[in-house]
Amino acid sequence: MADGTITIDGQTVPFTEGQTIMQAAEAAGVYIAHLCHHPEFRPHGSCKLCTVKAGGRHVAACTAPASDGLEVENESEELAAGRRALLQLLFVEGNHYCPFCERSGNCQLQALAYRYGMVEPHFPHFYPQREVDASHPDVVLERNRCILCALCVRASRDVDGKHVFDIVGRGIHARLAVNSASGRLADTDLAPGDRALEVCPVGAIIVRGRGFAVPIGERLYDHRPINEIGNRVPESEQ
Amino acid sequence: MSKIRIATTSLAGCFGCHMSILDIDEKLFDLAAVAEFDRSPITDIKQCGPCDIGIVEGGVCNAENVEVLREFRRHCKVLIACGACAITGGIPALRNGVPLVECMAEAYLDGIGTENPSRTVPNDPELPLLLNRVHPIQEVVRIDHFLPGCPPPAEAIWQAISDLLAGREPTLSYTQLHYD
């Protein structure tokens, strides 16, 4: 497949051979909602928030290749409603208590829910029971907030070369596991400075001593929506 | 024109949302010009009569909460879920991961610093029975509008009330919508 152009909501966007719709959009500065995608890592295609309509079909923009002349629909009412429903499912599936979460205001899940005007979870809450791993001196793993995006899995395996995390189990039983004999974070070689600690889009991986460093009103997504500033980790957490 | 009637209540909440209602400050005068309060901590009226707007803070944690919430739904044309606890269960829902019996034992029998020589858990018939789990209010009755936040900012509360007074669908701006 050679270079060419696609259109996203009518805007012409060039792509180079091998690029996905998401990569072409990012290069052109067009925002497509996402949580599990990160430009530095191989696509995972699991959160489905980047679902767009390409050539009339629903595809995940982070895994679907761009092809010449492809017409992509991104910000339609229909897709927004679908994304809002996905976000509501993510919220009720975990235990997301924004009022006391360290990542609140800098959280990409929360920011996308704001962006799509989610005012209530719509679905009945699961209130699942999930384990918190506070064994590590520098890091807390808060599985209640994990959305299984696998960014920490990819960062630890592909960048840090440590393979500290993995996702085990299937369907509703899937959970973020720690790759040590005891299953505890303290028994891994996870260390401050690891890339895996800087990619969590929600508040599942918390580095100790940093919580609430930035006051309400000055956080990343307090005043501007995520489609304007992108999926970012604030400087205070790098 | 007769004044519209507003009722408010706090179920399993901390009254923080009510503090935020009071935080509309001088707009309370604008509100008092067109509305009067029915059942509310502001009036101390104990039973809700026919109302135009009901504002409910807090989730549902016991039998009394269920009764009050149903009373509000019966009497209020428009019911607003106000704040994180009403919408998600909030902090009280943290007990949802712990069996009720263990919660009571921790609170009344075994908790650090607990002094309870009779070793009994309060069981007076006047005490509302706790539910096994704390529920968001939309899992119990139909809710018309939602105001997220812990608490929702006063501007968001005023926005919703003034939208309703003007006959509009309440719409929150980006900075008025937050979950914390």
pLDDT at A234: 86
Q: Indicate the helix (H) or strand (E) that contains B57.
A: strand B51-57
User: Residue with structure tokens 């026919």?
Assistant: B50
- Ramachandran quadrant class, A104 (left: phi over 0; alpha: psi -120 to 50; beta: rest): beta
Cβ–Cβ below 8 Å for A125 and B174: no
Contact B96, A127 (CB under 8 A): yes
Where along chain A do the CATH 3.30.70.20 domains lie? 99-237
pLDDT, one tens digit per residue, over A185-202 is 999 999 999 999 999 999
CATH 3.10.20.740 for domain A4-75, yes or no, is yes
pLDDT, one tens digit per residue, over B124-147 is 999 999 999 999 999 999 999 999
Mean pLDDT, rounded, of chain B = 96
Q: Identify the CATH number of the domain defined by range A99-237.
A: 3.30.70.20
CA angle B25, A215, A223 (to 5 degrees): 70
Rounded mean pLDDT, B39-52: 96
Residues of chain A whose C-beta is under 8 A from some C-beta in B? Answer: 91, 95-101, 104-105, 110, 113-114, 117, 119-121, 124-125, 127, 129, 216, 222-225
* Distance between CA atoms of residues B75 and B54, nearest Å: 8
* Distance between CA atoms of residues A69 and A67, nearest Å: 6
* Distance between CA atoms of residues B176 and B174, nearest Å: 6
| Chain B residues inside the 8 Å CB shell of A113 | 179
Cβ–Cβ below 8 Å for A223 and B174: yes
Cβ–Cβ below 8 Å for B88 and A121: yes
pLDDT at A236: 79
Spatial CB neighbours of A190, under 8 Å, sequence gap ≥ 6: A136, A138, A139, A156, A162, A164, A196, A197
pLDDT, one tens digit per residue, over B141-175 is 999 999 999 999 999 999 999 999 999 999 999 99
pLDDT at A74: 98
- Ramachandran quadrant class, A184 (left: phi over 0; alpha: psi -120 to 50; beta: rest): beta
* Distance between CA atoms of residues A102 and B92, nearest Å: 19
* Distance between CA atoms of residues A106 and A237, nearest Å: 10
ipTM of the complex: 0.94
Name the residue ranges covered by the structural domains of chain B: 4-95+132-165
Rounded mean pLDDT, B101-111: 95
Cβ–Cβ below 8 Å for A120 and B143: yes
Written as one letter, the residue type at B8 is: T
Tokens of A232: 């970012």
Contact A157, A147 (CB under 8 A): no
Cβ–Cβ below 8 Å for A99 and B180: yes
Rounded mean pLDDT, B20-38: 95
Question: In a 3-state reduction of DSSP, which class is residue A74?
Answer: coil
Spatial CB neighbours of A207, under 8 Å, sequence gap ≥ 6: A138, A139, A192, A197, A237
Pick from A205, A207, A166, A172: which is nearest to A44 by CA?
A: A166
For B:23-62, CB contacts with A below 8 A are none
pLDDT, one tens digit per residue, over A49-73 is 999 999 999 999 999 999 999 999 9
pLDDT at A1: 55
Contact B115, B37 (CB under 8 A): no
Low-confidence ranges of chain A (pLDDT < 70): 1
pLDDT-derived band at B34 (thresholds 50, 70, 90) equals: very high
* Distance between CA atoms of residues A237 and A220, nearest Å: 11
Q: Identify the CATH number of the domain defined by range B4-95+132-165.
A: 3.40.50.700
| Chain A residues inside the 8 Å CB shell of B177 | 114, 117, 119
Where along chain A do the CATH 3.10.20.740 domains lie? 4-75
Contact B149, B157 (CB under 8 A): no
* B152 DSSP assignment: P
- Ramachandran quadrant class, A171 (left: phi over 0; alpha: psi -120 to 50; beta: rest): left
CA angle A151, A156, A160 (to 5 degrees): 135
Terminal-residue alpha carbon distance, chain B: 38
